[in-house]
Amino acid sequence: KAFSIIVSSCSQPIKTHIKGIEDPTEIWTVLNEKLNSVSSRPGQLSLVCTFHSFRPQDGNTSIDEYISWLMDIRTQLAGMNKEIPDSRLVYHILTTLPPLYDTIIN
């Protein structure tokens, strides 16, 4: 049953990665290795770069949303031994806030 559920939920291009595999556990492992970009080194580096380059959009992103988004990425990286220390998180937030918040920062 697990085999059927996994295979039926895959698109045709994804099925090429699991062709000939009948063990659901092995299918899951292969799919995780091929598709979970965050678990790969390039995926981790991409996530770190995204963290450092992300900026709140004036008027489009609330500060709560912005901080929540950064915390989510930080949590993902911590699970991969790529932890972002509190000091770096605070520094990033303070140096990327829009000019509207200059009075709070200074």
- Predicted confidence at residue 88, as pLDDT, reads 93
Whether residue 106 has pLDDT greater than 90: no
25 and 43 both lie in a single domain: no
68 and 95 both lie in a single domain: yes
Give mean pLDDT, residues 15-40: 84
Amino acid at 94: L
Give mean pLDDT, residues 25-51: 82
Q: State percent of the chain over pLDDT 90.
A: 21
| Counted domains in the chain | 2
User: 8 lies in which domain range?
Assistant: 2-35
SS3 49: helix
30 or 103: which carries more pLDDT confidence? 30
- Burial tier of 56 (Cβ tally within 10 Å: 0-12, 13-18, 19+): buried
50 and 10 both lie in a single domain: no
